[in-house]
Amino acid sequence: MWITEKSRRMHIMLVVIAGITIGLIFRLGWMQIIKGPQYKKIAEDNRIRQITAEAPRGNMYDRNGALLVTNRPSFAISIIPSEYTNGVNATPILGDILGIKPEEIEKMLKEGEEFLYTPIRVKRDVDEVAIAKIQERQYYLPGVIVEAVPVRHYIYKEVAAQVLGFIGNINEDEYESRKPQGYSPNDFIGKDGLEREWENLLRGIDGGLQVEINALGEEVH
C-alpha cells in the first residue's frame, strides 16, 4: 500500500514536471516564432547612444581680476557614423541646411570613418533656424544630432589677441600626440599665445551620458 501511494505521488510529480517543461518549451517557441520578429525589431530600433558633454575651457583674467576670455553656450551639428545609414540622400539635405557643400561633409566622414560611434562635428555655433530645420527632417537625417557645446568668447575682441592667442580644430598630428591624454578628433586646442601655452591648465575634462534611442534617433529614456 505504501509503495503504491509512493508510486502514485512520484507519477503525479513527473506529470507536473513534464507539464511545466512542455509549457516552457511552448512559451519559448511562441516567443521565438510568433513574437521573434517583433522583439528583433525592438532590439534593432532601440539602441544606446553615447553622448559627450564637452567641457568649457577655463576663463582668463587680467591682474586686476577683470574677465578677458570666457565661454558662451552654443549648438553644434554632428554625425554619428554608425547611425548615418542614409548618407546618399541625407548629405545633400544636411549640406543645404548648413550651407556646406556635400563633398565637404563626405570628406569629414571619410576622415573620421574609424570612429564609428564618436560624433563627427560638422558645424559649430549653428543658429535656431538651422536646428529647427534639422529637427523637422530628422526622419531623413538618421545619425544627425544637435549638441550643446561651449564656444570661446573674447571679451575685448582683437585687443591683446597676440598675447591671449586663439583656439582651433585639433589637426591629425596634434590628435595623435595628445590622444593618450584623452583628446578626441572633435576637440579644439590652443593654437597660439596663452591659449596654447596654458593648454593643459585651460582644458576641461569632458563628461558624458548614455541615452536609449529609437530608429528615428529620438531619445526613449
Phi, psi of 111, rounded to the nearest 5 degrees: -70, -25
Grid cell digits, residue 102: 556635400
Parse the chain into domains and list their residue ranges. 2-45, 47-213
Q: Report, at the CATH architecture level, how domain 47-213 is classified.
A: Alpha-Beta Complex (3.90)
Looking at per-residue pLDDT, the higher value among 177 and 41 belongs to: 177
Q: What angle do CA 125, 129, 135 make, to 5 degrees?
A: 95
- Picking from 95, 82, 208, the residue whose alpha carbon sits closest to that of residue 143 is 82
Tell me the three-class secondary structure of 89-102, residue by residue.
HHHHHHHHHHCCCH
pLDDT at 158: 80
Kindly report, residue by residue over 68-122, the tens digit of the pLDDT: 999 999 999 999 988 898 889 999 999 999 999 999 999 988 887 777 878 889 9
**Tens-digit pLDDT profile for residues 142-155:** 999 999 899 999 99
pLDDT tens per residue, range 119-131: 889 999 999 999 9
* 194 or 30, which is more confident: 194
Collapsing DSSP to helix, strand or coil, 129 comes out as helix
Per-residue pLDDT, averaged over 55-68, amounts to: 93
Whole-model pTM: value is 0.66
* Rounded distance between C-alpha atoms, residue 44 and residue 50, angstroms: 16
Residue 216's pLDDT is 57
